Structure 1
Amino acid sequence: MSINFDQKQLAAYFVCGTQDIPGQRLTTVLKRALAAGITAFQYRDKGASRLTASERLALGKQLHTLCEAAGVPFIVDDDVDLALALGADGIHVGQSDTGIQQVVTAVSQQMFIGLSCSTLAEVRVANQVAGLAYLGSGPIFPTSSKADADPVVGLANLQELVTASSRPIVAIGGITEDQLPALAQTGVAGAAVISMLAQSNDYQRTVTAMRTAGWLMQ
């Protein structure tokens, strides 16, 4: 049974793939993150990942099962075919990925859709696209987690994007625990993080900080 989108799911949004946790098992990391209280998980296995397509599918099934048991939405990054094969709750796509209208046509009846938007122009175009659940904006701060990251957005520009958007925005990119209160002041609905949680020495502290940052809940 798919989990429907709720803005509250953006509060503590964990993004991770095998390339982000060298020497660790992704299933183990996800179990720890779910136990700590993450509100959404995005399976983003790419870049330095050495998984074959069949291995990525098999691992995705395990991860989806863990999320399902915890009642947390399981979101796939970019790959429509993989998202459909896994029966994902959601898919997140970027500006340079498959055309957003094609994605909406292919999956909107089966899962919710998130779209990366880092400029006012992109947000205004997204406002005209029916079928989107939320937008992801960033990198808010410099990040080393994505080799193909867009230019840094910054807090002031992020606030402009939030004001312009007709959908809730989750911030991503270079976020640390200390920056969460200032981030919440921009009006975003939450933070999507890779390194902040994957490299944390205390998952419970990190996720609690995310969940209690004071995000705008409309």
Structure 2
Amino acid sequence: MNGPERHESARLADIDTRLYLVTDSAQCREAGRSVADTVREAVAGGVGIVQVRDKDIDDDAFYTLTREVIDAVDDALADGPGTAGAGSTSVGTKRRVPVVLNDRVAVAQRLLAEGADVHIHVGQADTPVEEVRELIGHGPLIGLSAANDAEFAAARDSGAVDLVGIGPVYDTTTKSDAPDGIGPDRLGELVSEAGLPAVAIGGISTVRAAELRWRGLIGLCVVSAICRAEDPRAAAEELLAEFGDGTTTSSDAS
């Protein structure tokens, strides 16, 4: 690929990264479901990573929410062939779905101490990734939102980042302060510049998923497309069908 040499993470090796759900408690409530119910159905439909995000609750409530999400993932995986739960550190599972906490490092430390398999995603204004790695150890994944050469270079140089989230790809109302969407073509350029495994986020719907094939991504992050869906399981299946195995570059596909 063009751009910086790509740094792959061994921690991603056993994960299907193509579809990454970021939860939104308010959207789930509006759809008439709990976050846990939404996650359970979405994982059954093929979601491979779940990020728990809720900026409006305190750490104790966030801990409880994360435990509910871990249980929901475990339930979904228990219905599949040969699986161990998200909250387990068991080896030999055929399918592993990591549960990622949005920033809440103290909550992650508490859960890790209890033996849960949890991970962290931070933004540029959150806890620095080097500090996160010191606090949670070598095992968990660390994701970082990044958007330009300087942020990508800092992520690579830190040695702490496993994957970057790039966006918003399209205009989105999920975050009130989100900038305008960058579009699929600019996304592809940024993925090439990142030099780290990258997922796209922001305004991604079923009808847009196919536009993001062959952009060098390891997957798509979605919020509303699943949290607001009438049927989260079907929504996940449809997103995966549209994105397909679109996790390489156009040159790789040709």
Normalising by the smaller structure, the TM-score range is 0.7 to 0.9
Identity %: 27
Q: Which amino acid in structure 2 is aligned with residue 14 of structure 1?
A: L
- Asked if the contact 1:20/1:145 (under 8 Å) is kept, the reply is no
The equivalent residue for 2:40 is: 31
The equivalent residue for 1:82 is: 107
**Superposition TM-score, scaled by structure 1 size:** 0.88
Structure 2: runs of 5+ lacking an equivalent: 1-10, 78-95, 250-254
Decide whether aligned partners of structure 1 residues 123 and 64 sit closer, same or farther in structure 2, where only a CA change above 3 A counts. Answer: same
Q: Which amino acid in structure 2 is aligned with residue 41 of structure 1?
A: V
In structure 1, the residue corresponding to 2:195 is in which secondary structure? coil
In structure 1, distance between residues paired with 2:142 and 2:136: 8
Q: Which amino acid in structure 2 is aligned with residue 81 of structure 1?
A: A
The equivalent residue for 1:104 is: 133
State the 1:148 CA deviation. Answer: 2.8
The equivalent residue for 1:45 is: 54
- Asked if the contact 2:130/2:160 (under 8 Å) is kept, the reply is no
Q: Which moved more, 1:64-73 or 1:137-146?
A: 64-73
Q: 1:80-131: CA deviations, max 9, x gaps?
A: 1111222343110001111222112222424110000122332222222202
In structure 2, distance between residues paired with 1:166 and 1:189: 12
Match of 2:164 among 135, 140, 148: 135
- Asked if the contact 1:11/1:210 (under 8 Å) is kept, the reply is no
Q: Which moved more, 1:37-46 or 1:152-161?
A: 152-161
Q: 1:128-179: CA deviations, max 9, x gaps?
A: 2202111101111000111232442221221111111221100000011111
State the 1:74 CA deviation. Answer: 0.5
**Superposition TM-score, scaled by structure 2 size:** 0.76
Residues 1:93 and 2:100 are matched in the alignment:
no
Residues 1:182 and 2:188 are matched in the alignment:
no
Larger Rg: 2
Match of 1:159 among 188, 191, 207: 188
In structure 1, distance between residues paired with 2:14 and 2:226: 20
Residues 1:13 and 2:20 are matched in the alignment:
yes
